[in-house]
Structures are given as structure tokens and as C-alpha cells.
Structure 1
């Protein structure tokens, strides 16, 4: 399902960045909340500390795949194809956006206090849709792994 543009706008207006919005929307889909996780995602804002490096939509998408398919405690295993899933996301992102860095994708400053660019919203929406597509493609594998444990 496509990302809810109004929900994304609300979150951006509340001061959340791309990586945080990715996880909030992913948690919404799971019917969960996790303020500590969202707080931790702040470190990825603006390409890690607003450095303009790796885009928060991409890192947020990777974290969302991890949230759904990663190892979370000593008694469980991550999905055996999680790295394939993550590489698929990375390759798609590079193909679509031509770069993985904020500064290579955007043509405006990422300084604290600047408006959340409309382009970022489009990138978050497209990336969330791709993550959902990847998770759906591997969902049968994810469900069978959960039954095994």
C-alpha cells in the first residue's frame, strides 16, 4: 500500500526526519509504537547527523527490513535472506536516485531548521513502498522462519 502522504506531512511538520518517518510508518503498519527506537533513528537524520551522507530514507528502510526480519534476541535467528533483502533495497535506491547520499540527491542545505523538502517526502514514500514490496516478496520465508522457532 502506498505511504499515506498526509501522515508523512504530519510527521514532518512535527519535526521528524526521513529515517524516523520510515520507522514510524513501519511501526504503524505493525500496530506498534516504540519511542526509544524513533529516538535512536534521530542519529540517522539528514544523512547521519545532518552530514549529508547516507540518506535517512535508505537507512530507515534498511532498519525497517531489520525490524521485520532481523535477529532481536539470543533465542532467535534473523531471516536467512535478510542480506539479500537489504542489497535489493540498496541497489534499487541507487538505480532510482543515482546516489545514496543526501547531498548527492538534494540540491539544498540539510542544516537544522530547514524545511523538510518535498523531494524527501517523495523519496520516503517510494522507499517505504519498495521496503513493503521486498518484505512481501520474502514474507512466506519470514512466516515459515517464525513457525520454526
Structure 2
């Protein structure tokens, strides 16, 4: 088990859900702590509580927003932010539809704790790796600070 797999397993055993885990991985990569962000990810658990979109999909989009979105009037969205979200979402749809028959939490785990233990850690790991790949493709350092302004291509 590599370090990322171990960390994901550790966080899941501590009771964090998929969105929490992705947020914590991103914050840890940046050497930051943001309890409010992690807490907000609670709303994504179990497909927003009713089996809708997997929290790894919605949480992954939120993590990409952490890197490429904006937080205030002085910031701007990364010029390729929409593309990054599209890349992640399209990859997720393709990957999960083939494996599990859809992108919804209900389709992936059907509220079954055994399926959750079996499927979620690997799916979260795949999402984290895809997020890092997309960020690197768009020259965003997963560990670096997010600039207030982006250079145009």
C-alpha cells in the first residue's frame, strides 16, 4: 500500500467521507488546514444524502475549484478552469459508468456498507490521482499557493 492509499484508508477509518478525504488531501498537499472547507464537504456524503452524484465526483470538482476558482473580488478564475472541471467530470463518468453502471452514489455502492468499504477507497485514490494529473497538465502545483491572478496562455 502506497502513502496515498494508506492516508485515504486512515481518513476513512476516522469517519471522513469521500469529499472530506479529497479536501483534506488537497489541503495537506498545500500544507494548510481549513476546517470550514472540510466541514462543508459533509454535504456531499452519500450522494448529497440521497444517492445522487458520488461525493468523489462533486468533491473532486470542489477540490479543482480550490486550485482554480476564485474566493473574492481580487481573484480571477484560472483561464482553463472550465476545461479542468470538464476533464475531471468526463473522466469520472467514463470510469464509473464502465465499472459500476453510473456516477451516482446509489449506483456505485447502493447504500451497502460492504460495497462502500470495497469500492470507495480505490475510487477516491483514482480521483485524487486524476485531480493531480489535471492540475499538472494545466501547470498548477498541487503543493503550491494559488495565485490571485493567472497568466493567460
- Show the counterpart of 2:143: none
CA–CA distance in 2 between the matches of 1:11 and 1:48?
19
Q: Tell me if structure 2 keeps the 8 A contact 1:19–1:44.
A: yes
Structure 1 residues not aligned, in runs of 5+: none
CA distance in 1, matches of 2:123, 2:23: 14
User: Are the counterparts in 2 of residues 46 and 52 from structure 1 also a CA contact under 8 Å?
Assistant: yes
Aligned to 2:105: 102
- TM-score (ref. length: structure 1): 0.86
Counterpart contact for 1:70–1:79, Cα < 8 Å: yes
Structure 1 residue 146, shift from structure 2 partner:
3.8
CA distance in 2, matches of 1:53, 1:105: 10
1:27 alignment partner, SS class: helix
1:64 aligns with 2:67: no
Distance 1:41 1:3, change over 3 A: farther
Which TM-score applies when normalising by structure 2? 0.84
Structure 2 unaligned residues grouped into runs of 5+: 141-145
Preserved contact between residue 19 and residue 42 of structure 2 (Cα < 8 Å)? yes
Quick check: 1:26–1:64 contact (8 Å CA) kept in 2? yes
Q: Which residue of 2 aligns with 1:25?
A: 25
Following superposition, the deviation at residue 71 of structure 1 comes to: 0.7
Partner of 2:82, secondary structure, is helix
- Preserved CA contact (<8 Å) 1:3 1:129: no
Q: Report how many residues are paired.
A: 141
Structure 1 ranges of 4+ moved more than 6 A: none
User: Do the aligned partners of 2:17 and 2:45 also contact (CA within 8 Å) in 1?
Assistant: yes
Contact 1:20 1:42 in 2 (8 A): yes
SS at match of 1:46: helix
Q: Is the 8 A contact 2:78 2:150 kept in 1?
A: no
1:91 aligned partner: 90
Offset, 1:109:
1.6
What is the rounded CA distance, in whole Å, between the counterparts of 2:93 and 2:134 in structure 1? Answer: 16
